[in-house]
Amino acid sequence: MKLLLISNSTTAGQPYLQWPIEHIREFLNRGRDGAQRVRSVAFVPYAAVKFSYDEYEGKVQKAFDSLGVEVRSVHRLADPVAAIREAEAVCVGGGNTFALLKKMQEQGLVEAIRKAVEHGVPYVGWSAGSNVCCPTIRTTNDMPIVEPESFEAVGAVPFQINPHYLDAHPDGHAGETREQRIEEFLVANPGVYVAGLREGCLLRVEGRKLELIGGRPLRVFRAGDVPREISAGEDMSFLWG
């Protein structure tokens, strides 16, 4: 299993996907068998809401031009499941997680991606694309603008991710912090780990090896435990349960 799970695609003042692009390059350079460089990816654009799938494909292709990688969006194809099955690598973009999962379910892509990942097809996701690699999407930050069949997702990792994790509680804001929202989830779902993945960070998975990349620690939550700050280089094997 080879996963690159990215918190955010954009950093203020930088082009789209600029901050993680070198990590994506290195990840795709080793391909499925660890030697063959990936030359094309099957792209899942269904998290896009305020712009078209065509536009999303073009936006990602512009970023991937520097990698020499062709982006082939599954929305153009008559058989998206076959596209995933035959892909050198799979990329799932960010946006609205509910819209993404609903369309993936309708197209049969949840199971298709699960099988592809199990067979070693490299997977790159950012934001919502990281959420759908979890057992469910119940730790997304997004508004449920559409209703998927269920919250069940790919389940490539056994823990939940909260991308764009923020510590801040702005002055004058009376609503819950991100940590309080996660604590609510844990009351309803005891025994589940939640990884608060801060911006500018990503998780890399190779088999059962889990690595944090980025300059900020991962904040890990579990019901009954004090939240833990895990820095790059520290052991995170406990997240496999």
Domains for the chain: give ranges and CATH numbers: 2-240 (3.40.50.880)
For residue 170, name the pLDDT band (cuts at 50, 70, 90).
low
C-beta atoms surrounding 213 within 10 Å? 15
pTM above 0.85, yes or no: yes
Q: Model confidence over 42-72: pLDDT tens digits?
A: 999 999 999 999 999 999 999 999 999 999 9
Phi, psi (rounded to 5 degrees) for 230: -110, 120
Residue 204 pLDDT exceeds 90: yes
Active-site entry in 164, 171, 225, 235: 164
Share of the chain above pLDDT 90, in %: 89
H/E stretch holding 58 reads helix 53-64
Distance CA 91, CA 44 (A): 6
Q: Mean per-residue pLDDT for 187-205?
A: 97
Residue 24 pLDDT exceeds 70: yes
For position 174, what pLDDT does the model report? Answer: 63
For position 22, what pLDDT does the model report? Answer: 95
Q: Is 75 a catalytic residue?
A: no
Q: Is 127 a catalytic residue?
A: yes
Query: Can you tell me whether residue 204 is helix, strand or coil?
Result: strand
Q: Mean per-residue pLDDT for 116-143?
A: 97
Phi, psi (rounded to 5 degrees) for 174: -95, -5
Residue 31 pLDDT exceeds 70: no
Residue 181 pLDDT exceeds 80: yes
Average pLDDT, the chain: 94
Residue 236 pLDDT exceeds 80: yes
For position 207, what pLDDT does the model report? Answer: 92
For position 176, what pLDDT does the model report? Answer: 83
Total length of the chain: 241
Burial class from Cβ neighbours inside 10 Å (0-12, 13-18, 19+) for residue 150 reads exposed
For position 168, what pLDDT does the model report? Answer: 74
Q: Mean per-residue pLDDT for 11-15?
A: 85
Q: Confirm if 87 and 41 have CB atoms less than 8 A apart.
A: yes
Q: Mean per-residue pLDDT for 172-200?
A: 92
Beta strand pairing status for 70-73 and 90-92? unpaired
Q: Confirm if 64 and 94 have CB atoms less than 8 A apart.
A: no
Structural tokens at position 120: 């070693």
Q: Is 237 a catalytic residue?
A: no
Active-site entry in 127, 150, 167, 171: 127
Query: Residue for token digits 């292709």?
Result: 61
Active-site entry in 7, 75, 130, 142: 142
